[in-house]
Amino acid sequence: MPSKVILKMHTSIDGFVCTPDGDTAWIFQHMDDEVIRWEVERLWQAGVHVMGRKLHDIMAAYWPFATEAPAEPMNTIPKLVFSKTLAQTTWANTRIARGDIAAEIALLKQTDKDILVHGGAAFAQSLSKLNLVDEYRLLIHPIALGSGKSCFDSLVPMRLVSSHVFANGVVALSYSQ
């Protein structure tokens, strides 16, 4: 059975993944023990973590030195970063892909473990436009930003697969196409 491409994004209740200037600090005020446990369980289910260069740069500067629960799966599980400009990475278990996104994802899908994509708005939009996402895993935070960047820039019909409400008001929704 081929693996699934799962795009995981944190969003505000008004659908933004960051402020207009890219700030995501608002996410961390809702990352309590319950949400972190849920996240870590799902991180371990992935066979590879996929991201674009911008998010790679942020994560590669943080996770290798972090000690909280998500650090182990983030550093242990192989990572693939899509970039035409990144010359090299020092983040362990990370490979740079410079070619066709669809072809690379097709190769990854031949494995038996899911592919967890960590967004960035532009990278998420690219994958969605190419119809490469099998499941959208959205963590909706109880905050409205008023404006910002969305992981969607076109119509994407979906059906709800699962939902989970956390005590702090965050809601995890999983959708498939």
How many independent structural domains does the chain possess?
Answer: 1
Mean pLDDT of 100-121: 92
pLDDT at 12: 97
Residue with tokens 């990854």: 108
Q: Is the pLDDT of residue 24 over 70?
A: yes
Q: Which domain holds residue 100?
A: 5-176
Express as a percent the part of the chain with pLDDT over 70. 99
Mean pLDDT of 122-127: 93
Q: Which residues pair with 172 in a beta bridge?
A: 139, 164
CATH code of 69's domain? 3.40.430.10
Mean pLDDT of 3-17: 96
- What is the Cβ-side half-sphere exposure of residue 15, based on CA atoms within 13 angstroms? 4
Confidence of residue 119 (pLDDT cuts 50, 70, 90): confident
What is the pLDDT of the chain when averaged over all its residues? 95
pTM of the model: 0.94
Confidence of residue 1 (pLDDT cuts 50, 70, 90): low
d(CA 127, CA 105): 10
pLDDT at 69: 96
